[in-house]
Amino acid sequence: MTIVLFGLYSAALYAIGGVGFTLQFGVTNVLNLAYGSLITSSIFVEYYLTGHSTNLWLAMLVGGAAGTVLSFVVGFVVVGAFVRRGAAGFSIAMVTIGISLMIQYTLEAIQGPVVNAYASSNRSTLLSVAGVNLDSQQVTAILVAVVLMVVVHLVLRLTKLGLAMRATADDVSLTRVSGVSPARVRALAWLVSGALCGVCGVLLGIGIGTFDAAIGNDFFITAAAAAIAGGVGKPYGAMLGALVVGIITQASSAIISPAFSSISAWVLLVAFLILRPQGIFATYAAEREIVA
């Protein structure tokens, strides 16, 4: 029960980050390995801009806005320039690694030798189930994740933007000959996924309480594992994948050792890639026709 509850909290963060990542990849076809450093950047912006505020709503607003802008600049402007010149696949992934390192070293320079820490707010226990206490921050994160997932679902299913995103992810040429500009859809995908990335970042940073210039990287591996578990490019898969990964990483840190939790994320990632690169829910997703 403990594992499930804490797993739920981890899953909330992985879901936000994983859905952002998978949506971005699905629509833009860019494997953005700088996603982790964009998560980190959002925390940095929030931390310095709000004067270390731990007010979650303010943080999500500022972090979300930062993520949106940074994602657009990195994805649409910089990576987009390479894509428009005809680069694809592996070379694009390399470009994003380069960007990721640049961001990380810049943030390290800004941070200096100290570890950034939020003043520990009085985190009152809000929910107490079976001896497990979830504080208000954690409960908020779970609720925010649920709301965001519902919003993503509604946007994908019911709006023209969602339709255009799913069409672009499916077939770019067919989208173009339908009179829809994929460039515009991609621009919007960078914005939306950036917002998710930023919100995820501040929830992560404030949740842990301290952070450095590498915080996003480990988290990104796990969020990517969640996205891959669900089949890359499939937002519903990423939501389910986040639950599985959240609970498994919590279980491994509870049963084996907390130090093992990020190792288990790596193991999961590699295992998914070897065993079911199309996603553990591929058959389920196909049967239920929830591929997005």
What does the binding site for another protein look like in residue numbers (CB under 8 A)? 160, 163-164, 166-167, 169-171, 173-181, 289, 291-292
Are the C-beta atoms of residues 238 and 230 closer than 8 Å to each other? yes
Sequence-ordered list of residues with C-beta below 8 angstroms from that of 234, at least 6 positions apart, any chain? 22, 26, 279, 285, 290, 291, 292
Give the nearest distance from C-beta 205 to another protein in angstroms: 35
Which CB sits closer to another protein, 73 or 290?
A: 290
Are the C-beta atoms of residues 53 and 185 closer than 8 Å to each other? no
Amino acid at 135: D
Give the nearest distance from C-beta 156 to another protein in angstroms: 11
Which CB sits closer to another protein, 167 or 268?
A: 167
Distance CA 16, CA 282 (A): 20
Pairing label, strands 132-135, 210-211: unpaired
Which CB sits closer to another protein, 162 or 209?
A: 162
Are the C-beta atoms of residues 213 and 107 closer than 8 Å to each other? yes
Give the nearest distance from C-beta 113 to another protein in angstroms: 50
Which CB sits closer to another protein, 69 or 290?
A: 290
CA end-to-end span of the chain, whole Å? 32
Which CB sits closer to another protein, 247 or 292?
A: 292
Give the nearest distance from C-beta 175 to another protein in angstroms: 7
Are the C-beta atoms of residues 7 and 134 closer than 8 Å to each other? no
Amino acid at 5: L
Give the nearest distance from C-beta 24 to another protein in angstroms: 17
Which CB sits closer to another protein, 27 or 39?
A: 27
Sequence-ordered list of residues with C-beta below 8 angstroms from that of 109, at least 6 positions apart, any chain? none
Give the nearest distance from C-beta 245 to another protein in angstroms: 24
Which CB sits closer to another protein, 2 or 159?
A: 159
173 by Cβ neighbours in 10 Å (0-12 / 13-18 / 19+) ranks as exposed
Distance CA 272, CA 260 (A): 18
Which CB sits closer to another protein, 104 or 175?
A: 175
Amino acid at 16: I
Give the nearest distance from C-beta 292 to another protein in angstroms: 7
Give the nearest distance from C-beta 149 to another protein in angstroms: 19
Closest alpha carbon to 75 in 170, 218, 169, 193: 193
Q: What per-residue string of b and e applies to 122-141 under the rule 16 or more CB within 10 Å gives b?
A: eeeeeeeeeeeebbebbbbb
